[in-house]
Amino acid sequence: MTKVLAISGSLRSDSHNTNLLRNAVGLFGDDVEVEILDGLKDVPPYDEDDDREGASEAVHALRAAFAGADAVFISTPEYNSSIPGQLKNALDWVSRPLATNPLRNKPAAVVGASTGAFGAVWAQAELRKVLAAIGARVVEAEVAVGHAPTRFDEDGTLVDDDLREQLGEVAGALVSAVAERQELARTAA
Ligand SMILES: Cc1cc2nc3c(=O)[nH]c(=O)nc-3n(C[C@H](O)[C@H](O)[C@H](O)COP(=O)(O)O)c2cc1C
């Protein structure tokens, strides 16, 4: 069973990005278990002193969630043309120690939604850069949900067929990346 950790970069309850993640869950297939990360809001600001002296429970839970996943799927909003602080902060915690961090060589995919026209493309690009810098294997596929309030019905279901298809392609690319990585590990063993 492949395990995917899904993360919404938004903390608000009616988040379009969280809705996008929920729509993606059903597109992964039966042999994939998707866990949506809970507790992003509990992660304290990164402080190297705290990291040295013993990180909080929230940070241990965050790192364990990343360590237990075969792949990571993130839906990010765009705040002032970049990654929301709470998401970047969580990734900073996960990234240390750099040499052994749980994102190292792990397949990761990024999608995004915004109320503007472009679907958080700048935040997505910066997030891909950050993930790659941490050591993740970022898949190329993209979904940019612009004008987000018009793309979901009142139950939070994505109503745009093209976007749904693109979301399925990202899910497929992520699962393929996991399979390739497992195959590589098998042949290297
Ligand atoms: C602090 C802040 C900055 C924002 N900056 C941008 C931006 O640069 N580009 C954009 O498309 N939307 C921007 N927005 C609007 C977000 O796209 C919108 O709030 C969106 O719904 C956030 O995602 P969510 O629905 O998942 O919470 C910003 C919103 C906030 C609160």
CA distance 13 to 174: 26
Ligand 1 midpoint to CA 115 (Å): 6
What SS3 state is found at 136?
A: coil
What SS3 state is found at 79?
A: strand
**Angle in degrees, 0-180, between the axes of helices 85-94 and 57-67, rounded to the nearest 10:** 70
In the chain (189 residues long), the average pLDDT of successive 10-residue segments reads: 97 98 95 96 98 95 98 98 98 97 98 98 98 97 97 97 98 97 90
Query: Does residue 122 have its Cβ closer than 6 Å to ligand 1?
Result: no
Element containing residue 113 per DSSP (H, E): strand 107-113
Ligand 1 midpoint to CA 20 (Å): 15
Ligand 1 midpoint to CA 137 (Å): 26
Query: Does residue 151 have its Cβ closer than 6 Å to ligand 1?
Result: no
Query: Does residue 176 have its Cβ closer than 6 Å to ligand 1?
Result: no
CATH number, residue 175: 3.40.50.360
CA distance 64 to 142: 27
- Return the best residue to mutate from 79, 126, 127, 151 for the ligand 1 pocket (most ligand atoms within 8 A of CB): 79
CA dihedral for 176, 140, 43, 35, sign (positive or negative):
negative
Answer yes or no: are the C-beta atoms of 148 and 171 closer than 8 Å: no
Query: Does residue 81 have its Cβ closer than 6 Å to ligand 1?
Result: yes
pLDDT score at 189 = 83
The domain tally of the chain equals 1
Query: Does residue 17 have its Cβ closer than 6 Å to ligand 1?
Result: yes
Query: Does residue 80 have its Cβ closer than 6 Å to ligand 1?
Result: yes
pLDDT score at 55 = 87
Q: Could you tell me the residue range of the domain that residue 112 belongs to?
A: 2-188
Element containing residue 34 per DSSP (H, E): strand 32-36
Query: Does residue 77 have its Cβ closer than 6 Å to ligand 1?
Result: yes
